[in-house]
Structure 1
Amino acid sequence: MSDPERLNRAADLLLELEAELRRLGLWEDARPSDEALASALPFCCDTLSFPQWLQFVFLERMKPLIEAGGPLPGQCGIAPMAEEWFAGSGIETGRLLRLLRDFDKLLTRD
């Protein structure tokens, strides 16, 4: 896949991911504090829920990269964290997990 195709696909996935978070009722209007967003731990796991991290860290960092024409990260492994976080939650996350797996595949270069 060419770089422009990867960027277009990434943009589509971001839109789908936002729509799915909204559909599941996981989208938040209130932004977390700067301190919560500044966590040094992976996925800000000590200060944010995983859906908050997706919305306020992942999406917010990916959008400008895509709008600027890249470069995109060469590796991504979000889906396993999502699977762990949502396990036993009772939330129907099948589509959300598929979108995150697609993101992982798109961004991870062999």
Structure 2
Amino acid sequence: MSASTELFSEVADRLLGVEIEMRRIEVWSTEPPSAEALASSQPFCIDTLEFTEWLQFVFLERMRFIVEQGHGLPGVSGIAPMAEEHFRGRSESGDGLVRELEAIDTLLSDS
């Protein structure tokens, strides 16, 4: 297995880990946001989506497409700090989700 194939496989595994954690802490949505909400030009669609909605319907969808199509992975990622900020002071613990996102950040930044 080439280093590139291994990296894609590791990223795919971590993306699945993110979904599992989101389902475990019950922030996974069965209803997608409106097309208008997804069309936001703001970073992380901060003006139209909750962070977890952006994570599920923008980040995960785009990253899965990149992995499935074998396109170039982003050279840097900094999603974990956004998750930490989102879960600060909330009743649900996002620690497991933050750890999964930290692993993705590391994989992409080290590639």
Q: Which runs of 5+ in 2 are unaligned?
A: none
Q: Which runs of 5+ in 1 are unaligned?
A: none
Query: Would you identify which runs of 4 or more consecutive aligned residues in structure 1 move more than 4 Å?
Result: none
* Percentage of pairs with the same residue: 50
| Counterpart position of 2:73 | 72
Task: Note the alpha carbon deviations across 1:1-48, whole angstroms, 9 max, x for none.
Answer: 921111000000011110110111101111101110011111101100
Query: Shift of the alpha carbon at 1:109?
Result: 3.9
| Counterpart position of 2:46 | 45
Are the counterparts in 2 of residues 7 and 70 from structure 1 also a CA contact under 8 Å? Answer: no
For these two proteins, the number of residue pairs brought into alignment is 110
RMSD (Å), alpha carbons: 1.4
Please give the alpha-carbon distance, in whole angstroms, between the structure 2 residues aligned to 1:8 and 1:109.
15
| Counterpart position of 1:104 | 105
Task: Note the alpha carbon deviations across 1:38-97, whole angstroms, 9 max, x for none.
Answer: 111111011000110010000110111101123111111101111111100021211110
Please give the alpha-carbon distance, in whole angstroms, between the structure 1 residues aligned to 2:81 and 2:93.
16
Give the partner amino acid of 2:69: A
Give TM-score scaled by structure 1 length: 0.94
Task: Name the SS of the counterpart of 2:91 in structure 1.
Answer: coil
